[in-house]
Amino acid sequence: MGLLPEIDLEQAAQQTSMEEPENPTGYLTPLFDFEKGEFVTDRNGRIVEDDGLRGMQTIINKAHYTARCAYEIYSEDYGTDEFDALVDPAPEDVRQIRIKEAIRDCLIYDDRIVEVGEIDLQRTSDGYVAIYEVETIFGTFPVRRMVK
């Protein structure tokens, strides 16, 4: 008899795999409520995660709110240049083209996004409303958001 207990590795592997939650896509995204400025929690106070369409909506919103190259933790591909496009002194039609490009560019880096549909920009007193659809590997959903 040795000092260490005997471990049945096959049985331990089966128990471990049974305890892990199934995640067919390999992605789990903590859900964030951007209007409240806080993570979505369940009734026990745990942060809710999603591996599908709701998670992608959080990812897309976060990409739109993060300025490109502003944080060292992200690659230079992550985030948006919308802020630069908004203050561009170019004529209105050129500025709108730049904003649409910035919206599309901040999303296409993610391999779960299949396509960004045609972007409609509507001028408001303090910016634009962007309306478009995003097709992901989980499905397609509409986006309507302020760009300011």
Domains and CATH numbers, the chain: 24-147 (3.10.450)
The pLDDT tens digits of the residues spanning 31-85 come to 999 889 899 999 999 999 988 889 999 989 888 888 888 888 888 888 898 888 8
| CA–CA gap between residue 1 and residue 31 (Å, rounded) | 50
| CA–CA gap between residue 81 and residue 108 (Å, rounded) | 13
| CA–CA gap between residue 140 and residue 60 (Å, rounded) | 13
CA 58 to centroid of chain Cα atoms: 5
**For residue 15, what are its two tokens?**
């128990």
The pTM (predicted TM-score) of the whole model is 0.73
Identify which of 79, 146, 137, 139 has the alpha carbon closest to the alpha carbon of residue 113: 137
Give the other-Cβ count within 10 Å of 8's Cβ. Answer: 9
CA 75 to centroid of chain Cα atoms: 15
